[in-house]
Structure 1
Amino acid sequence: MRNLENEPTRAVTMSDVAKAAGVSRATVSFVLNDTAGQTIPDSTRERVRETASALGYRPHAIARALREGRSRLVVLEVGAVPQGPHLERFIDGLDRELSAAGHGLLVSVSRAQDRASAQLAIDALRPHAVLDLSTLYRGDAPLAPDDEWSIGLLAPLSAQIGYLAERGHDRIALAVPDAGTPFVERMTTHLHETAERAGVRVTRILPLGPTTDACARLRELRGTVTAVAALSDTLALTVLSAAADLGIPVPADLAVIGSGDAPEAALWRPALTSVAVDTFAHGIRTARQLLGLPVGDAAPTQARVVPRATA
């Protein structure tokens, strides 16, 4: 067996395995692909597999996809869904469960204008499944109150409204990213529906972004709302920063609640009230569903408000 330890680092090929094992490349292919109808001695099969393992041979993903009809990849298309703790934990749970089942996860964050080229690359990999979150959350997708996704990334809004309503807030603004997307439209629609059921009015939408004058936007709201519910902790912290610059007492004059329970939420002063969702368990559950496995104990908990000083 050749010692490749001191040779230049490169991908090990079938030809390398064949030469080291003393067999033909065709034999290596038959063994590693478990090709039926081949009369190859067990001792030869074992030698080929041991050689491939020792050399660190890994079949090319696309080549394997062509043989199997699909690869062991699952593609998660994030699109315009805002990134943050909820999404990160969902991806962690999805990746962990897929890895345990011998599958890999490819996360795509292509925007609408790049979707065509991204789709070509995804199609070449022949993935086991493609989960498109941006489609699930598009503005015209049907939404059932008990739907899996409704209690996933949409769940924090219901928790926010319920928490604020219990504390007497009936005029609420929603802080959203200033780039309008179908996802934001869906979240806004969901918030209005939830607020209506709770007897609360969502009187203003507060678009915020990197180039937004947050102080000017918040100054326009002053006196018209008693609370701000933000789609993320980052947006909520932007509101708190503007409130501090304007001298608006929080929560006395304005309550603020975020979403995601990011680590920085507890570090801000006053500490940010936020909502935590068990999206990690959602990720595990989704992976099992995609692979046709029993869901078992992957039961996500309900969205939970983490009370702190701002609401």
Structure 2
Amino acid sequence: MGTSRRVTLNDVAAASGVSRATVSFVLNDDPRQTISAATRDRVRQAAHDLGYVPHGVARALREGTSRVVVLTIEPGLEGHYSRSYIDGLDTELAAHAHVLLVRHGHDSPHTTRQVLDTITPRAVIRFAETYLTGHGLDDLGGGWHDGLAAHTALQLSHLAEHGHTHTALALPDTSPPLATTRLTYATQAAHTLNIPTPHPLTIPQERTACAQAVAACLTHHPHITAIAAFNDDTALRVLTALHDLGRHVPDDTAVIGFDDNGYGAYTTPALTTVTIDAHTHGRLSARLALGLDTTGLHPPVAHIVPRQSV
């Protein structure tokens, strides 16, 4: 028994008496083309009568899924790392003829089901899932090798190398999803470095309240000589608070950021920070989602961007 041939754009063009390009313009609803309503109706009717199915849709029907990979990012996880990760994920998926759809907002079984039912994605990736589910050491970087644990340790070890063994860990008051994880890793890293555990310091967004929080911390813990921040946004607030308090950075108090957002280079003093290139992490995630070999993909090691705040 023979198999029926798939209807093509050429078939629709022949049936409607127009060029293949015109058929493409009509079916893609290209707003840049001036095609009469009568011609549009004729092309659409021909496509309907012939049972034309767009190539991408036909392929999805054959494969049982679309060529879409969905990435969900919960609030509080946006930053330089996530942007770099998304770029790598998108690049690798495109190289394998897949499309990336990024969803921002709280994920839930209901919303995930809606996505699955609507577009039947090839895969759904939850950004930082290993950390959000308590399996942080299972991340692509191996946790202490090139994952969040290693990056946290790098931040503290840089301070220790500059003589700052008594530190505070500045956390935003928005309670980001990874705050508890960072505190856990900071505690473990401090133990490994044989230095005191960093004191948690909540940093309000309002400027006066921020200065008051920093002042209270340094008053009650006068041995603290450096503040390690959850991210660069938090570090910039700390720098402003120290300036408002009349404290000199780094002579009175050193400050180090995390996940270099680029703005730290423009402050006075410029912000020392940890930079992480997640582009390869994104590419690795793409290959794993597609069931492809990951040989040859090695994420670059995170490193310190030394400026003037330490």
Instruction: Please report the TM-score for the alignment, with normalisation by the length of structure 1.
Output: 0.78
Instruction: Show the counterpart of 2:124.
Output: 130
- 1:152-167 aligned at under 5 Å gives the runs 152-167=147-162
Against the structure 1 CA distance between its residues 64 and 144, is the aligned structure 2 distance closer, same or farther, given a 3 Å change threshold? closer
Q: Hey, what does 2:192 align to over in structure 1?
A: 197
Q: Cα distance, 1:133 vs. partner?
A: 2.6
Give ranges in structure 2 of 5+ residues lacking alignment.
Answer: 1-17, 27-32
For the residues of structure 2 that align with 1:278 and 1:224, how far apart are their CA atoms?
34
> 1:128, 1:134 → 2: CA distance?
19
The 5-angstrom pairing of residues 52-71 of structure 1 reads 59=57, 65=60, 68-71=63-66
Q: How does 1:32-43 map to 2 (within 5 A)?
A: none
Residue 84 of structure 1 aligns to which amino acid in structure 2? G
User: Identity, % of aligned pairs?
Assistant: 32
Unaligned runs of 5+ in 1: 34-57
2:169 is aligned with 1:174: yes
Q: Once the two structures are superposed, what CA deviation does each residue of 1:191-241 show, in whole Å capped at 9, x if it has no partner? A: 111111011223421222434711011001212411111121111111000
**1:119 correspondence with 2:112:** yes
Deviation at 1:64, TM superposition (A): 6.4
Distance 1:145 1:295, change over 3 A: closer
Shift of 1:17: 6.0
Alpha-carbon distance between aligned partners in 2 of 1:145 and 1:188, rounded to the nearest angstrom: 18
Counterpart CA distance in 2 for 1:103 and 1:245 is: 50
Task: Specify the code of the residue in structure 2 equivalent to 1:171.
Answer: H
Q: 1:207 aligns with which of 199, 202, 205?
A: 202
Q: Identify the match of residue 50 of structure 2 among 17, 20, 25.
A: 25
- Residue by residue over 1:149-187, the C-alpha shift from the partner in whole angstroms, topping out at 9 and shown as x without a partner, is 552444431210111111121111111221335421112
Structure 1 position 142, deviation (Å): 5.3
What is the aligned partner in structure 2 of residue 217 from structure 1? Answer: 213
With over 3 angstroms needed to count, the CA separation of the structure-2 counterparts of 1:139 and 1:118, relative to structure 1, is closer
Query: Is the 8 Å Cα contact of residues 175 and 206 (structure 1) preserved in structure 2?
Result: yes
Query: 1:172 touches 1:200 (CA, 8 Å); kept in 2?
Result: no
Give the direction of change, closer, same or farther, for the CA distance of 1:17–1:305 in structure 2 (3 Å limit).
Answer: same
- The structure-2 alpha-carbon separation of the partners of 1:233 and 1:8, relative to structure 1 and needing over 3 Å to count, comes to farther
How far residue 18 of structure 1 moved from its aligned partner, in angstroms, is 6.6
Cα separation, 2, equivalents of 1:8 and 1:185: 61
Asked if the contact 1:153–1:279 (Cα under 8 Å) also holds between the matched residues in 2, the reply is no
Kindly indicate whether residue 279 of structure 2 is the aligned counterpart of residue 280 of structure 1: yes
Q: Is the 8 A contact 1:80 1:134 kept in 2?
A: no
Structure 2 SS opposite 1:243: helix
**Shift of residue 139, structure 1, vs aligned partner:** 6.1
Q: Give the CA RMSD over aligned residues.
A: 2.8
Contact 2:271 2:307 in 1 (8 A): yes
Q: Is this contact kept in 1: 2:203–2:214, CA < 8 A?
A: no
- How many residue pairs match? The answer is 274
